């Protein structure tokens, strides 16, 4: 065993504000960790009913947090400007059916509540009170708003005992009168509500469960009578399913489900409210549907993952599917009644901006969301395909430094989260990792191995009970394919990732000594231990079954089983409040590496969940990641 360098750091206090920093050489256009996270995120687009305006949420760093406000765009004027300016945050904007009012959620009153303001801006009125509101929907006539919130008195003191699976902590359906602010509770009991939409003035369609204690996927569609709160079973779509959306005439609805059972909802289904079975309207496309919006009572648009691009398709009432030609990958979108499309366009080398696609196919940008990035050149990626060790076709993306290379370059391979996720042409916090590494002179390889979305439902299922099997071989085959080009130094390889990507990083260091440095963020070390402590077990049950019945499967799929083989210096970072992959996973990894004398560092982040949200923590992780690779690979 070689001598290990071991350290444990808790980030309890860092500077609360930061500015866009110049690089050490004083180049104002050089990408730095501070600049990498200091950009505007644009999301949640909504056309006004008449199509004359688009409201959205724009978020950006503000001190210790990411602050969100509503912005509004007017396509006719090509304008894009901020609409709300509270000292807190706003989100989830929704137009009233008439378009005369705009409702949204805000924490400006302490807890998150519903506010309503005039269409053109002005003073907002708070119309809900009590426990925090998580989601809401306007009634078809615009006179009421239905929302989800817990019962009065259910908010516990932070120091009070917590009772698991307590009915009082379940969110209830409420209805509030927009004019009088009179609210009434509609539902009670053991029902767990996740999504809902109005079917008329007296009825709600909801995605719900009749027993919140059950941790398998067992939701169904129910009709809720608003006068009595009674639930009537409507249908049981294939599990899992999500994304309930009702057409404008309230006669049809759509949701995303799966054909034969899968780890994620995959295909778009359309069903009549009165009669008829659900129809899979995207099976011919065989790409994961990320979101769907109704244009009118018959036509629906869907955003789909297609390899490294996110595209939009249109499905007409006859079931005919037409791709919508757009110049950029699509982060979010909405469609007006006449078919005009508004979308957030992104790319590996493109920060989020809003674009309008007219019905004649022309595309134009609506204003400018970003500022302070003048002169900064982000790097695009080369998308390529190759055959894995068993002949399966795999897709990957390679980034190279923009400056001419002097000799062979070091390479860092990054693995995405999930596993049922993918790398896409986009810019966000994790996708800034490759940009910063390329700036430092590294090649960066991003692989979508089997188990990724964007390549069909069977591909998503291909690593069931086999994490670290075919998917790991795909990653290593991609590394070999890049090395074969002759531009990469095979003795200077690194690996890293977050969540499932961190799990594959831990797996890699237990199965090969080819990597000189590794970075693991929010990962899984011991599958069985994680199953007993994570905040939801349904996905793991699909992948592995129950650990008490299949301990051999959990052991075979856990990096912990093979960690005694590790020699790669490993940086470990994890949020202390992570409920997806609890902190104990990284604590156990760190202890194992210490035991076997492997150089490692563990840094934990107070107040952070599965993904770091505080800008200062994002910057710290990015800087440590860069320093770690530099220390061991340059």
pLDDT for the residue numbered 153: 72
**Rounded distance between C-alpha atoms, residue 79 and residue 81, angstroms:** 7
* pLDDT beyond 90 at 140: yes
Tokens of 145: 């708003």
pLDDT for 455-494, tens place per residue? 999 999 999 999 999 999 999 999 999 999 999 999 999 9
Long-range contacts of 604-607 (CB under 8 A, 24+ apart): 604/9, 604/10, 604/11, 604/573, 604/574, 604/575, 604/576, 605/11, 605/573, 605/574, 605/575, 605/576, 606/10, 606/11, 606/12, 606/576, 606/577, 607/575, 607/576, 607/577
User: How much is the mean pLDDT over the chain?
Assistant: 93
pLDDT for the residue numbered 471: 98
Tokens of 92: 């989830």
Between 79 and 24, name the one with better pLDDT: 79
* pLDDT beyond 60 at 21: no
**Rounded distance between C-alpha atoms, residue 173 and residue 178, angstroms:** 16
pLDDT for the residue numbered 156: 64
Lowest pLDDT segment from 50-64, 145-159, 486-500, 587-601: 145-159
Contact 344, 333 (CB under 8 A): yes
pLDDT for the residue numbered 13: 33
**Rounded distance between C-alpha atoms, residue 291 and residue 314, angstroms:** 12
pLDDT for 188-212, tens place per residue? 999 999 999 999 999 999 999 999 8
- 322-327-329 Cα angle (round to 5): 85
**Rounded distance between C-alpha atoms, residue 190 and residue 172, angstroms:** 10
Residue count of the chain: 634
Stretch 346-375: mean pLDDT: 95
Stretch 128-150: mean pLDDT: 97
* pLDDT beyond 50 at 10: no
* pLDDT beyond 50 at 17: no
pLDDT for the residue numbered 14: 34
**Rounded distance between C-alpha atoms, residue 431 and residue 364, angstroms:** 25
- 43-48-53 Cα angle (round to 5): 75
Q: pLDDT band for position 588 (50/70/90)?
A: very high
DSSP letter for each residue of 605-632: ETT--SS--SHHHHHHHHHHHHHHHHHH
Lowest pLDDT segment from 14-23, 213-222, 564-573: 14-23
Structural domains in the chain, sorted by start: 6-35+377-633 (3.40.50.1820)
**Rounded distance between C-alpha atoms, residue 133 and residue 60, angstroms:** 23
pLDDT for 486-535, tens place per residue? 999 999 999 999 999 999 999 999 999 999 999 999 999 999 999 999 99
Lowest pLDDT segment from 17-31, 320-334, 389-403, 533-547: 17-31
pLDDT for the residue numbered 16: 34
Q: pLDDT band for position 119 (50/70/90)?
A: confident
**Distances in whole angstroms, Cα of residue 620 to Cα of each of 29, 221, 339, 518, 602:** 20, 44, 44, 17, 13
Contact 36, 370 (CB under 8 A): no
pLDDT for 316-338, tens place per residue? 998 999 999 999 999 999 999 99
**What is the maximal distance between C-alpha atoms in the chain?**
74
Stretch 441-449: mean pLDDT: 98
* % of the chain with per-residue pLDDT over 70: 95
* pLDDT beyond 60 at 2: no
* pLDDT beyond 50 at 9: no
**Rounded distance between C-alpha atoms, residue 272 and residue 294, angstroms:** 14
Tokens of 361: 């196919």
The answer to whether the bond into 386 is cis (omega within 30° of 0) is no
**Rounded distance between C-alpha atoms, residue 461 and residue 345, angstroms:** 29
pLDDT for the residue numbered 29: 81
* Single pTM value for the model: 0.94
pLDDT for the residue numbered 616: 96
Stretch 424-434: mean pLDDT: 95
* Residue 110: burial class (beta carbons within 10 Å; 0-12, 13-18, 19+): exposed
Tokens of 633: 């690979």
**Rounded distance between C-alpha atoms, residue 79 and residue 71, angstroms:** 10
pLDDT for the residue numbered 160: 83
Contact 32, 80 (CB under 8 A): no
* pLDDT beyond 90 at 78: no
Task: State the residue for tokens 């890049």.
Answer: 482
pLDDT for the residue numbered 189: 94
Tokens of 139: 């009634």
Between 24 and 612, name the one with better pLDDT: 612
Task: State the residue for tokens 């204690």.
Answer: 213
**Rounded distance between C-alpha atoms, residue 374 and residue 42, angstroms:** 19
């Amino acid at each position: 065993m070689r001598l290990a360098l071991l350290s444990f750091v808790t980030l309890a206090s860092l500077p609360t504000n930061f500015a866009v920093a110049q690089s050490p050489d004083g180049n104002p256009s050089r990408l730095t960790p501070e600049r990498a996270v200091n950009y505007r995120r644009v999301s949640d687009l909504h056309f006004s009913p008449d199509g004359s305006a688009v409201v959205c949420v724009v978020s950006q760093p503000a001190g210790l947090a990411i602050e969100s406000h509503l912005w509004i765009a007017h396509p006719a004027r090509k304008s894009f400007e901020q609409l709300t300016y509270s000292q807190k945050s706003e989100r989830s904007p929704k137009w009233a059916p008439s378009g005369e009012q705009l409702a949204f959620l805000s924490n400006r009153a302490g807890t998150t509540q519903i506010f309503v303001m005039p269409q053109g801006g002005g003073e907002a009125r708070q119309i809900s009170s009590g426990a925090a509101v998580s989601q809401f929907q306007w009634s078809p006539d615009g006179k009421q708003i239905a929302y989800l919130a817990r019962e009065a008195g259910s908010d516990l003191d932070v120091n009070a005992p917590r009772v698991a699976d307590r009915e009082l902590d379940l969110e209830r359906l409420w209805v509030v009168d927009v004019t009088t602010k009179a609210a009434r509770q509609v539902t009670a009991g053991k029902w767990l509500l996740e999504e809902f939409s109005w079917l008329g003035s007296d009825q709600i369609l909801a995605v719900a469960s009749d027993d919140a204690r059950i941790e398998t996927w067992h939701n169904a569609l129910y009709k809720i009578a608003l006068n009595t709160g009674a639930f009537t079973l409507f249908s049981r779509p294939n599990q899992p399913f999500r994304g309930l959306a009702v057409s404008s005439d309230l006669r049809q609805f759509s949701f995303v489900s799966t054909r034969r059972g899968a780890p994620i909802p995959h295909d778009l289904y359309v069903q009549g409210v009165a009669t008829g079975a659900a129809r899979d309207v995207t099976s011919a496309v065989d790409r994961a549907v990320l979101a769907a919006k109704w244009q009118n009572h018959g036509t629906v648009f869907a955003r789909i993952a297609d390899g490294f691009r996110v595209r939009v398709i249109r499905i007409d009432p006859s079931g005919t599917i037409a791709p919508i030609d757009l110049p950029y990958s699509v982060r979010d979108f909405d469609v007006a009644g006449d078919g005009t499309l508004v979308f957030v366009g992104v790319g590996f080398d493109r920060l989020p901006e809003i674009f309008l696609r007219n019905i004649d196919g022309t595309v134009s940008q609506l204003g400018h969301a970003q500022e302070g990035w003048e002169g900064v050149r982000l790097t695009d990626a080369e998308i390529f395909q190759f055959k894995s060790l068993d002949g399966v076709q795999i897709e990957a993306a390679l980034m190279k430094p923009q400056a001419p290379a002097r000799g062979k370059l070091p390479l860092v391979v990054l693995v995405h989260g999930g596993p049922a996720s993918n790398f896409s042409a986009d810019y966000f916090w994790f996708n800034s990792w490759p940009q910063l590494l390329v700036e430092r002179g590294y090649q960066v390889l991003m692989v979508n191995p089997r188990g990724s979305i964007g390549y069909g439902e069977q591909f998503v299922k291909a690593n069931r009970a086999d994490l670290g099997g075919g998917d790991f071989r795909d990653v290593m085959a991609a590394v070999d394919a890049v090395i074969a080009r002759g531009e990469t130094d095979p003795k200077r390889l690194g690996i890293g990732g977050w969540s499932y990507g961190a799990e594959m990083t831990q797996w890699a260091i237990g199965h090969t000594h080819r990597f000189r440095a590794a970075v693991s963020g929010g990962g899984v070390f011991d599958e069985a231990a994680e199953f007993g402590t994570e905040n939801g077990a349904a996905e793991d049950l699909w992948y592995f079954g129950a650990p008490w019945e299949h301990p051999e499967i959990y052991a075979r799929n856990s990096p912990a089983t093979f960690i005694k083989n590790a020699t790669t210096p490993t940086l470990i970072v994890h949020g202390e409040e992570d409920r997806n992959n609890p902190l104990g996973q990284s604590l156990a990894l760190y202890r194992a590496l210490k035991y076997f004398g492997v150089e490692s560092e563990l840094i934990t982040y107070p107040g952070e969940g599965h993904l770091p949200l505080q800008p200062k923590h994002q910057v710290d992780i990015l800087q440590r990641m860069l320093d770690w690779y530099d220390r061991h690979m340059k």
